[in-house]
Structure formats: structure tokens, C-alpha cells
Structure 1
Amino acid sequence: MSSVHMDYSEKRDFIRMRVDADVSLIHAGQVITAVCLDLSSSGMQVQSPRQFKVGDNLEVRIDSEHTALKGLEASTEVVWIADHADGGQKLGLRILSMK
């Protein structure tokens, strides 16, 4: 069953970790600085200063502050959007693959 068809309680079966970390979103050759609000094994919630559409594919990069730890790089898909009055959006991103 795809995550789009999972009900709310099934989606919450994934442990979410509050992150509040700066991220880079790469879309169509542009790099957009955003904030990752939370992260799970299957996706993340991101606050973006610009707008995207459901179905957009974004590369996400979270750099590590520790030299001994590698940062996160993932290919993602926008699965939900919440628009904000300031023109930005909260995005629900499904992780398609990790690099």
C-alpha cells in the first residue's frame, strides 16, 4: 500500500524526530535554503520560503556540524503542502532514496 493510501494512524507508526535543522532543497538547478522541522525513516516536514507542487521531486541535503558524521542526502517527492500567508509553505516530503 502506498503512503498516499495509508490512513492517519498508519502514518504515525513511523517514529518522528524533531530536528529544526537548516536544509538545502535542490529543484530544477536552484538551491533553496529551508528548515527541516521533523524527520522519520520515510519522510520529513520542511518549512520552505518558496512554493512547490505536490509531485515535485526535490533533492534534500542536511549538512552535518560534526566532521566525523556524514550529512543526509536524499531524493524526495512532495506529498502534501500547507500554504502560509508569507508566501512560503510547509511541505511533507516522502524519501524516495538516500545517497
Structure 2
Amino acid sequence: MSLIDKDYEEKRDFIRMTMNATATLTEADGTSLAVKVVDLSATGMHLESNKAIAVSSSVVVIVESPNAQFQSMEAQCDVVRCIELSETKFDIGLEVKSIS
């Protein structure tokens, strides 16, 4: 069952960690852009972007570690939501498939 098929309460069973981190989102065609990670949970990620990303597309999000002692996070994700907030700001919801 995908994240879209789950009801609202089941989606909210995971603790969401508020973040304010810059990350790099790479689309399947290799296009990369800087995004802001708003929050992260065990199964999803909420981003803000200055570009729309197609729903159902697969992307890779890399959050660089600010400390050399810790590895950067790389997440394979599927886009489940893209809402235009303004002409230059988009709310992006991702389902996390794997993290390394």
C-alpha cells in the first residue's frame, strides 16, 4: 500500500522532525535544484522549492551534513504532492522509499 492509499491518521503515526536544512533534489533526467527541507518523518519528507516537480516522479534528495563526523543523508523518494504557493514557491510532499 502506498502512502497515498493510507488514511490521514495512519500517515500521522510517525513523528515528524522539523528541519530547516538546504538540500539538493535531483530529478530522473539529472536536473538538480536547491530545496529547503521543512520536515522529515520515517516515511516522508516535506520540501519547499522554487520549481514545480511532477507528481509520481522519482527523485533523489541529498542533505549534506554540516559536520564531517556525520554522513550526508541520501533519500530515494517519490513525489506525492506539489502545490503552488506562489509563482516562485512550491510545497512538495515526498514518500521516502529508501535512505542511505
Specify the TM-score bucket, using the shorter chain as the normaliser. Answer: over 0.9
Identity of aligned residues (%): 31
Uncovered stretches (5+) of structure 1, i.e. residues with no partner: none
Number of the residue aligned with 1:78: 79
For 1:15, the aligned partner's letter is I
Matching of residues 77-96 of structure 1 within 5 Å: 77-96=78-97
Deviates more, 1:37-46 or 1:79-88: 79-88
Q: Kindly tell me the number of residue pairs found equivalent between the two proteins.
A: 99
Distance 1:45 1:93 in 2: 6
TM-score normalised according to structure 2 size: 0.93
For residue 10 of structure 1, give the secondary structure of its aligned residue in structure 2: helix
Number of the residue aligned with 1:25: 25
Distance 2:31 2:5 in 1: 31
After the TM superposition, which segments of 4 or more aligned residues of structure 1 sit over 6 Å from their partners?
A: none
For 1:65, the aligned partner's letter is P
Tell me the C-alpha RMSD between the 2 structures.
Answer: 1.0
For 1:67, the aligned partner's letter is A
TM-score normalised according to structure 1 size: 0.94
Distance 1:19 1:87 in 2: 21
